[in-house]
Chains A and B, each alone.
Chain A
């Protein structure tokens, strides 16, 4: 099931990570209470979602290769 959506999941993971890193970069470049709030919510949320998608892909790949 996951294998079918592998390219889409990988792209989504990259895009979420890109969004999260972008928000983090904005927080580092122009620190303000609003930027910090965005970093703590949108930024960290996106990065966690990206990591989740990537973990899902890694686990499914390992299961496909019968490692897990």
Chain B
């Protein structure tokens, strides 16, 4: 058992588990209250007890549930890429300890500690999150309603800015001569030159 294990540890997964349990309880209590009120005769609904119950079940519990549901949902959805079988080839390669691809190297060295797919493919900042949400809705629609496309490919070229977000000012980046080359550097930093022109592909290339 590590110091982070245990029922009341502050580990993110454990906190989310407790938030989930709290959400289940609050939603169930709210539903029970509403069933109880709906079951009553209309005249009885005007009593102070029922008014407090209604305020709790229509305002307090739903507001809390919405907050908890968003916390749980946004946490879980970041890990959901591997749940669809359509993504198996990419996920399997990433987890393959012998794979030379960039995604696999980042995964096995824990250069990105958690939510590896989401971290690289969502982009950084608020706009990255919004883009990821829009993309995620599209993926869900394809998975459940429209069908998974026969050929899965990235919608637009992978932005160099995502790599540079971590690497641009790192010593390991600066000590590579081509990165600091007066002609090459502006092209890399502006995104005109892709990292993958020189580096290993991020995922297995199609055969």
Contacts and interface: CB of A to CB of B under 8 A. Distances in A.
Interface of A: 7, 10-11, 13-15, 17-18, 20-22, 24-25, 27-29, 31-34, 36-37, 39-40, 43-44, 47, 50-51, 54
20 contacts: A7-B42, A14-B34, A14-B58, A17-B34, A18-B34, A18-B35, A20-B62, A21-B27, A24-B65, A25-B28, A27-B73, A28-B72, A31-B73, A37-B140, A40-B70, A44-B66, A44-B69, A47-B66, A50-B58, A51-B59
A36 B77 contact: yes
Contacts of B63: 47, 51
A17 B57 contact: yes
Given A21-B31, A27-B73, A54-B58, A47 B65 contact: yes
A11 B80 CA distance: 37
A7 B45 CA distance: 9
Contacts of B68: 28
B123 interface: no
Contact of A36 (B28, B35, B57, B73): B73
Contacts of A37: 137, 140
B121 to A, nearest CB: 15
Interface of B: 20, 23-24, 27-28, 30-31, 34-35, 37-38, 42, 45, 54-55, 57-59, 61-63, 65-66, 68-70, 72-73, 76-77, 80, 83, 136-137, 139-140, 143-144
Given A21-B31, A24-B65, A25-B27, A13 B58 contact: yes
For the residues of B in contact with A, the DSSP-based class is helix
A46 to B, nearest CB: 9
The 8 A-B residue pairs with the shortest CB-CB distance in the complex, in nearest-first order? A36-B73, A25-B27, A47-B62, A28-B23, A54-B58, A28-B24, A21-B30, A31-B76
Contacts of A25: 23-24, 27-28, 31
A21 B62 contact: yes
Given A21-B61, A31-B72, A14 B38 contact: yes
Contacts of A47: 62-63, 65-66
